[in-house]
Amino acid sequence: MTIVLAFTAALLFGTGTYLILQRKLSRIIIGLGLVTHGANVLMITAGHRGAPPIIEKNDPAALADPLPQALALTAIVITFAVTMLLLALAYRSWQLTNDDEVEDDVADRAIAKDTTPVPEIVDQTEAMPTEIVEPSP
């Protein structure tokens, strides 16, 4: 069963990564959802079966590990917030352009084409005075 869940997580990661690399914002949102579902499947698979983690009733070695479940719940909440943000951005993009394609930034292209060397940062300690001059009364 663990191998089936590992292959399922790998399939979700692969499909989600492919969709995140697309130019349409709707595909990016779906890809993000698939990647996070893959992460949740992987975290739940990392835990082991066992009795509920109530120490007084059972042997500690036979208890289930609650950490993967807590991490999966945290990931679900964070994914929900990020998805809502991306849906709001997609809706605003649709309102402005009637399309959800992510366009290249013109300024980024200009910076990428510019081949002038970046000036080195001047050491600021050389410009500072070495002695402290107190004002006269």
Q: Which amino acid is at 66?
A: P
For the stretch 5-39, pLDDT in tens is 999 999 999 999 999 999 889 999 999 999 999 99
What pLDDT was estimated at residue 104? 75
Rg (CA), the chain: 26
Q: How far apart are CA 23 and CA 46, in angstroms?
A: 33
- For residue 69, is pLDDT > 90? no
**115-to-68, 106, 111 alpha-carbon distances in Å:** 48, 16, 8
**Residue 46 phi, psi (nearest 5):** -65, -25
Q: How far apart are CA 54 and CA 56, in angstroms?
A: 6
- For residue 49, is pLDDT > 90? no
Query: Is 47 within 8 Å of 68 (Cβ atoms)?
Result: yes
- Alpha helical stretches, state H, 47-136: 67-97, 106-113
Q: Which CATH architecture has domain 2-111?
A: Orthogonal Bundle (1.10)
**In the chain, where are the structural domains located?**
2-111
Q: How confident is the model at residue 87 (pLDDT cuts 50, 70, 90)?
A: very high
What pLDDT was estimated at residue 82? 94
For the stretch 89-120, pLDDT in tens is 889 988 988 888 877 777 777 777 876 655 66
What pLDDT was estimated at residue 10? 95
- For residue 127, is pLDDT > 60? no
Q: What is the DSSP letter of 15?
A: H
What pLDDT was estimated at residue 122? 53
User: For the whole prediction, is pTM greater than 0.75?
Assistant: no
